[in-house]
Structure 1
Amino acid sequence: MYNIRMRSAQGGSHEKGGQHISGAERIVPEEDIFQAVSSLLKRSLTHSKGKADFINISLEEIKKEEIIYLSSLPITTLEVKDYLEGRKGAIQCLQAAGLSLRQAQAVLNLLVEAPSMRGAMLVDIHTLKRLEPDLQRGVRATGMDWAPEIYPQLHAYLEGEGLNNTHVREALALASKVARAPGIVAEVCWSDDPEYIAGYVASPTLGYVRLNHLKPAGVDKGGRIFCFDPSKANLQECLHWMEEQITIINEIGPYQGTFPLKNYFGEKEYGTNR
């Protein structure tokens, strides 16, 4: 198996101040390398954020004994009327994952105000301070993909719920890995793709909760935050899992349903005053 990683920018490399266009990765057998690389190149050159003029692709062989296999998080879809209601829903989801109202609001505000960056912010939920070793780069959760043999089942599963797109497939793989990282209690994310307005909150307890509207249409600024509880794990263990450990998803978690936001939290007994 080979881990193929791509990052692309416009206006030069990321290190020289170029604007981030796209980043993605695949874990594939040797016979699928050329197809995977071609797909990643096409993505960089035809992205809705613009055509990349800097593309970096790296390949690394992976030994079977280095791989940990996971099941994907269960999916829930929450329907909201606009991004403002979606962000209220995100705060409720973060509360349901264990954050206080103050913590949840602060995390969401960080995501709203932060500049676009290649990686994610890693935030201590108690101090609300960022913990990334490199604050400009952020933390890159890497080394994850779906098992090749599960793709037909994955496509059919997501197609049945109207969710079979690259955004959901890649985000679900990433969230399923991050939720298992030592000390991570929640993640919140929306895309920097101006055409994609959905986002999600994920946690070990909630699963992958997709909100159909979490940012205004046409906005090319997105990001993600990993919420870390230092009382549960060592920071270096968390970083190693996210940045170094290879994980492959070989089992698909259940779809738990589609709910209006109000109905879902009525049933779960969570609210903004918790």
Structure 2
Amino acid sequence: MYSIKMRASKNGKHISGAERIVNKEEIELVANELIKRALMHENGTPDFINLKIEEIKEEIEYIDHLPIKTIECKNKREAREKARELLKNEGISDELIDYAFKIIDKGGMRGAAILNLRGERLEPDKERGVRVKNIDTTKELKEKILKEKLGTERTVDAIAIASKVIHLGIIAELCTSDNKSYTTGYVATKKGYFRITNLKEKGENGGRVFFVKNDVDIEDLINKLENKPFIIK
């Protein structure tokens, strides 16, 4: 199988990214889909699109997706209180949650910030963050999410990331979309993938934060986040 990764930017600023894991005969079709996605992104038309296609030689691990639950909130304040509650249930302090919200609201990162429970940022490049790569969902899971209205196309992408990071031992993930108009974000823990409506307001930035234990082997974790292939089913 092959990994196809797309990254688009304008004036050096990240606009969008996506990835698929496909069979050889699907490469051309999916590559065209990802290029079209880059060109039509609401955050602007890119002046740079990078498309990387490489054969996956490592054994792909298939894992079950996190349970998907949607929490409807009337406004940002209510949504953030719900996200806070979910994170505090995992032993994450209010101060650390406040810091995480500051990171995602600033936006501009291609990847995720990584915070331990002491509030230390562990990612090597604080501007770029760490990208979760070599992931996809099965066609069956995608069809289930869309057919049963468990979420949107964005949910399909996000459930792949969330399921992989929690499987690798990350305590929790907090995420809002870098799409300016998409206000639904999520918290992921071992208990599930919680879609939270109105986690940000329209026009605001988005970002992603991973919470990890203080004794985490950060080099090993980043290597697996970036390189170990997973398909979520």
For the aligned pair, the TM-score class normalised by the smaller chain equals: over 0.9
**Which of 232, 236, 255 in structure 1 is aligned with 2:219?**
236
Structure 2 residue aligned with 1:246 = 229
Which amino acid in structure 2 is aligned with residue 198 of structure 1?
A: T
Q: CA deviation at 1:30?
A: 0.3
Q: Does the alignment pair 1:201 with 2:187?
A: yes
Which amino acid in structure 1 is aligned with residue 96 of structure 2?
A: Q
Q: Note the alpha carbon deviations across 1:90-127, whole angstroms, 9 max, x for none.
A: 11111122213333233223322x3411111011122x
**Which of 191, 195, 205 in structure 2 is aligned with 1:210?**
195
1:158–1:115 distance in 2 versus 1, CA, 3 Å: closer
Matching of residues 23-172 of structure 1 within 5 Å:
23-63=17-57, 65-112=58-105, 114-126=106-118, 128-147=119-138, 151-161=139-149, 163=151, 165-172=152-159
Which amino acid in structure 1 is aligned with residue 86 of structure 2?
A: C
Identity of matched residues, %: 39
Q: Note the alpha carbon deviations across 1:140-183, whole angstroms, 9 max, x for none.
A: 11110013xxx2453234432352x221000001100011123x
Which amino acid in structure 1 is aligned with residue 212 of structure 2?
A: F
- The 2-side partners of 1:156 and 1:180 are apart by 21
Which amino acid in structure 2 is aligned with residue 140 of structure 1?
A: R
Q: Does the CA-based 8 Å contact 2:87-2:97 persist in structure 1?
A: yes
SS in structure 1 of the partner of residue 98 of structure 2: helix
- The 2-side partners of 1:60 and 1:31 are apart by 14
Larger Rg: 1
Structure 1 residue aligned with 2:6 = 6
Q: Does the CA-based 8 Å contact 1:91-1:108 persist in structure 2?
A: no
SS in structure 2 of the partner of residue 23 of structure 1: strand
Q: Does the CA-based 8 Å contact 1:69-1:247 persist in structure 2?
A: yes
- The 1-side partners of 2:160 and 2:59 are apart by 18
1:153–1:3 distance in 2 versus 1, CA, 3 Å: closer
- The 2-side partners of 1:106 and 1:153 are apart by 34
Structure 2 residue aligned with 1:15 = none
SS in structure 2 of the partner of residue 76 of structure 1: strand
SS in structure 2 of the partner of residue 56 of structure 1: strand
Unaligned runs of 5+ in 2: none
Unaligned runs of 5+ in 1: 12-17, 252-274
- The 2-side partners of 1:224 and 1:41 are apart by 24
Q: Note the alpha carbon deviations across 1:2-34, whole angstroms, 9 max, x for none.
A: 0011100112xxxxxx12111011000000000
Q: Note the alpha carbon deviations across 1:35-60, whole angstroms, 9 max, x for none.
A: 11000100111110011110001111
- The 1-side partners of 2:147 and 2:54 are apart by 31
SS in structure 2 of the partner of residue 138 of structure 1: coil
**How many positions carry a matched residue from both structures?**
233
Displaced runs of 4 or more, over 4 A: none
SS in structure 2 of the partner of residue 66 of structure 1: coil
- The 2-side partners of 1:101 and 1:115 are apart by 20
How well do the aligned residues superpose, as a CA RMSD in angstroms?
1.5
